[in-house]
Structure 1
Amino acid sequence: MNHRQKDVFRYLQSHSERWVLSNELAEFCRISTRSVRNNISKIKDEMPGAILSSSQGYRFANSEQTAVPSSEAESRETQIFLLLLKKSDLGINIFDLADKLFISESTVRTDLQKLRKKFADSGLKIKTKGNEVFLNGGERAKRKYMVSLLYGEGDFKNQLKVSVQNMIGFISMSELEATIQGQLKKKNIKISTYTLYNIALHFAIGMARIREGHAIKATGKVGRIASTPAYELSVDVSDAISERYQVQFSELEKEYFSLLFIGIQNDIQEEKMLSNYVQSDVKEALKSVLASVEETYHIDLRSHDFFVKLAVHIQSLYYRSQFDSYARNSSLQDIKASYPLIYDISVYIASMIQERLDIDFNDDEISFIALHLGALLESQQKMDQPIRVALIAENYHSIDQVIKDKLQTALGKHVSIIDEAAYKEEYDVLITTSRRVVSKQAGSVFINPLPTNSDLVRIQNRIISIQKQVQDREIYRYIDRFILRELYFNQTDPVYLTPAEIRQQMVARLVRHHYADKDYLESVEKREQMSPTSFPSGVAIPHSVVLNANKSGVSIMTMQESIQWAYYPVRLVVMVTVNPQEAQIYNVFFEKFIEILSDPVNVQLLSEAEGFESFKMRLKTLVSDSSSTVE
């Protein structure tokens, strides 16, 4: 090593107990940060494993420290993607990337090349202009890749439960959920998995807080809550939990927990109570922040339940921050390591809320936001349930476990394998090493006791086929749910109509059937003025600027001939209304619908449908045809 490299090495060696930033090294060695990176790179070449580098800086690797995990490069690629995502239009300097990630420019270029390969079929491209790097691609492609990264962080449901389980100790999170659900069933109340988890999460946090001696302080903000159904539910659930776990909840705690049950019974009084508790500036700040998160990270956070629960949490934090009484729980810190992407988004949310409301967040409070976000993403992931594979194998020298492990490795996390003891439960594919079972179970797949590549290919083809069928059936259900006869206009003659008059007719029918209010037309026209909603394929999709409909639905108008709609001739008009509470599942359907409507041949077929039933049948056929071209 030359003298500069020796200086860098010795400085890191003498500060081996911590990470050292590049500017600190640069100041000590009297060189630039770029020279620091280059010297570190050369030291690593000469002495592999001697220096660790991460987003925290550089560190000397002594014998007591573990080496950088093999996933470090993959983690860097993800960080590069996030940095490019946030600056898609402006681009980012390659030297700034190296500075932020504490790596050399050559390593950045290598990581960028790896990302280019990963983006091959994603619709995303990395472009360089001089030393500036840009991420090019459409909104849909960015969102799809971002979601794949988020889902790739692991099984939210199980791992988040582990994090919370560590926090509450001996209390079983699953039992806590069962206790809550038992009380709701007594009142014939059904809630989603996400809502149940979120309620259980808040009770778990409350129990941990009470155990540590941090009771909720009076705020005087809830008011007149005792007469609401939400409060009655809170008392029932709180008392059941108290009896089971010997944790006593105060009256203030029960009032706070009642906010978790708002909207479950669609009680207008409850919504007013929420307004009394959550200040308008908190709600407006949160709306603005979540909109910015969606725009920056290209993920869908439009869930009424998620917004309500997070608003309650932020309001509680707002009160507690005035007394410097933050939630503290070190067991939640593993979220930062386990879910770096979710945590990164949570930091972004926290920083923007902090800026708008002038409140501080510690790491634990950010972890609580990450729990909310992770639970929402986990509920969204349920849209793509794993294929259930039943396995019946000869149990000879534990060969059944060998087969199970091999299948799980080959088929990945999108497949859930259940063994013979549970195979009588519902399953999608039955795999067996028994000829006898094959002869009795139609559609089962025979494999050898030691599965060959041909066996695995056969299984994968069957699973792909089933996945397409499952996805198609889901879209069929959404077609039946959102495309309704009462909103259908068949073969309208557009000769004496303008696009504005068509929009008026369609909105009038939506209002008549209570899908939207009278002011919906104003919002639709505002969106049309921003940018016409007609497309080259021959379809127009007018819609509101905001998600403010009473019910989600799709109004269809087929026309006898084309009408000029801004820049394009249109034969099919699709007016959409979206209720915020249904945005999540509606987006799953509408993304597929838009994909079909982007093809002029498909638009032509749909516009020529003779009536409502014919239209729906043609649409379902196009869904099936588009699925068969996947892969």
Structure 2
Amino acid sequence: MENIHINEDEISYIAFHIGSYFERRKNLEKKIICAVICPNYYDMRLQLIQKLEKKFHNSLEIIKVLSDSSEIVLLEEIDLIISTLPLKDEQTPSVFVHPYLTEEDYGYIQIQLNKLNKQKKNRKVKQYLDLYFDEDLFMKNVYLDSDESYIAFMAKLLYEKGYVSIDYGKSVLERERMSSTAFNNNVAVPHSMHMDAAKTGICINILDRPVDWGKEKVQIIVMISINKQQRELFSPFFEGVINILSEWRNVHELIKAKDYNDFMEKMMRLLNEN
């Protein structure tokens, strides 16, 4: 271990720049990363860049400007190429534009941005689904005699898969006794009052016919375990899931899922529409 001492001013300076780095990374994740190919004739290139940044500053981040297509091989992590020169056999999505942008050029760029943003959202949703759902935690038509039985059964499954401690079911039951977690007369979301799970995950039971949950009837039971360190990442995704489950037409669609893969496809489509 190096014997290096850093004073408080230096620590504040480093922390500020590290924070700025992560903030820039976060902002970049929301944008399409772009390279522009344009010969450097007089101020034509500068005007092109300025127009693009003015028009698409919220959705496009230009990180490379090249003079010709021979430099494309050097590009990495580029989502889109905007070029005033014709491109051949380019695998990266591209838009050919005039050196002095026309309204038609703006339209072509926007179409490509919409397409790429949709693809990016699909990939992100798929990533979250794969991260928080598990085929081993998915059940279809497991019928038990009470809400307490479902809680005990699903908590045991989460425990066996390494998500929660052995006492998790007691914590969920304690929360359920305070007030029912059933809502919309279709869905129950039993959970603990504590975010002390080893891993964040979702255990789900889909039922063809309604079952009693306290004074309500439900057809989807979703038990969640939340790890405190994963809360910020998980919360926006789970909010999207709850929004879907809040509408009967979505619940009706999900309960028709034949198996885990069918359920995941339906959930992905609904999340993308949400």
Give 1:525 shift.
2.2
User: How far apart are residue 412 of structure 1 and its match?
Assistant: 1.2
* Distance across 1 between alignment mates of 2:214 and 2:54: 53
**Superposition deviation, residue 398 in structure 1:** 2.6
TM-score, scaled relative to structure 2: 0.84
Q: Tell me which amino acid in the other structure corresponds to 2:57.
A: G
Q: Is the 8 A contact 2:32 2:113 kept in 1?
A: yes
> 1:420 maps to which residue?
66
Partner of residue 550, structure 1: 198
Amino acid at match of 2:263: F
Pairwise CA distance, 1:394:
3.1
Distance 1:425 1:376 in 2: 19
- For 1:18-37, what per-residue CA distance to the aligned partner results, in whole angstroms no more than 9, with x for missing partners? xxxxxxxxxxxxxxxxxxxx
- Residue 493, structure 1, aligned to residue 143, structure 2: yes
Equivalent positions of 1:251-262 (< 5 A) are none
**Match for residue 512 of structure 1?**
160
Please list, as runs of the form range in 1=range in 2, the aligned pairs for 1:134-149 lying within 5 A after superposition: none
1:531 to 166, 179, 182: 179
2-side partners of 1:461 and 1:477: how far apart?
25
List runs of 5+ in structure 1 lacking aligned partners: 1-234, 243-248, 258-326, 333-366
Contact 2:181 2:189 (C-alpha < 8 Å) held by counterparts? yes
| Larger RCO, structures 1/2 (Cα 8 Å, 6+ apart) | 2
Give the equivalent residue in structure 2 for 1:467. 117
Deviation at 1:577, TM superposition (A): 0.8
Q: How far, CA to CA, are the matches of 2:40 and 2:249 in structure 1?
A: 54
Q: Are the structure 2 counterparts of residues 583 and 419 from structure 1 closer, same or farther at C-alpha, using a change threshold of 3 Å? A: same
Match for 2:221 among 542, 549, 573? 573
Change (3 A) 1:379 1:455: closer
The whole-number CA distance in structure 2 between the counterparts of 1:488 and 1:475 is: 18
Answer whether contact 1:537 1:603 (CA < 8 A) is retained.
Answer: no
Q: Tell me the equivalent position of 1:402.
A: 47
TM score, norm. by length of structure 1? 0.39
Q: C-alpha distance in 2, partners of 1:405/1:529?
A: 60
Measure the CA separation in 1 of the matches of 2:47 and 2:23: 30
- Identical counterparts, % of pairs: 27
* Structure 2 Cα separation of the partners of residues 440 and 373 of structure 1: 39
Q: Partner of 1:514: helix, strand, or coil?
A: coil
Quick one: which amino acid aligns to residue 620 of structure 1?
M
Alignment counterpart, residue 384 of structure 1, candidates 6, 23, 29:
29
Answer whether contact 2:28 2:61 (CA < 8 A) is retained. Answer: no
Q: Counterpart in 1 of 2:101?
A: 451
Question: How far 1:547 moved relative to its partner?
Answer: 0.8
Q: Which runs of 4+ in 1 moved over 4 A?
A: 370-377
Shift of 1:581: 2.0
Letter in 2 for 1:420: L
Distance 1:510 1:441 in 2: 47
Q: 1:411 to 1:577 in 2, by over 3 A?
A: same
Instruction: Look up the match of 1:441.
Output: 90
Question: C-alpha distance in 1, partners of 2:224/2:51?
Answer: 46
Give the conservation status (yes or no) of the 8 Å contact 1:392–1:431.
yes
Distance 2:236 2:166 in 1: 27
- After TM superposition, give the deviation of residue 419 of structure 1 in Å: 1.2
The 1:458/1:585 distance shift into structure 2, 3 A limit, reads: same
Shift of 1:509: 0.8
Equivalent residue number for residue 235 of structure 2: 587
Aligned pair in 2 of structure 1 residues 449, 382: CA closer, same or farther (>3 Å)? Answer: closer
Following the alignment from structure 1 to structure 2, what is the Cα–Cα distance between the partners of residues 448 and 518? Answer: 65
CA–CA distance in structure 1, aligned partners of residues 187 and 111 of structure 2: 35
Q: Could you say if the C-alpha distance between residues 404 and 371 of structure 1 is closer, same or farther in structure 2, counting changes exceeding 3 Å?
A: same
Partner of 2:249: 601
Residue 573 (structure 1) shift: 0.9
CA distance in 1, matches of 2:219, 2:203: 14
Larger Rg belongs to: 1
CA displacement at 1:568 relative to structure 2: 4.0
* Alpha-carbon contact 1:492-1:559 (below 8 Å) kept: yes
Query: 1:566: how far off?
Result: 4.2
Quick check: 1:431 aligned with 2:82? yes
**For the residues of structure 2 that align with 1:561 and 1:572, how far apart are their CA atoms?**
10
Q: Does the aligned pair in 1 maintain the 2:141–2:206 contact within 8 Å?
A: yes
Offset from partner CA, 1:120-162 (integer Å, 9 cap, x none)? xxxxxxxxxxxxxxxxxxxxxxxxxxxxxxxxxxxxxxxxxxx
C-alpha RMSD over aligned residues = 3.1
Determine if contact 2:162/2:198 at 8 Å carries over to the other structure. Answer: yes
Gaps of 5+ in 2: none
- Residue type at the aligned position of 1:482: Y
Higher strand share: 2
Q: Structure 2 counterpart of 1:618, which letter?
A: K
Residue of structure 2 in register with 1:94 after alignment: none
Instruction: Write the deviation string for residues 559-578 of structure 1: whole angstroms up to 9, x where unpaired.
Output: 13112334642111111111
Tell me the distance in 1 between the aligned counterparts of 2:18 and 2:168.
31
1:364 alignment partner in structure 2: none
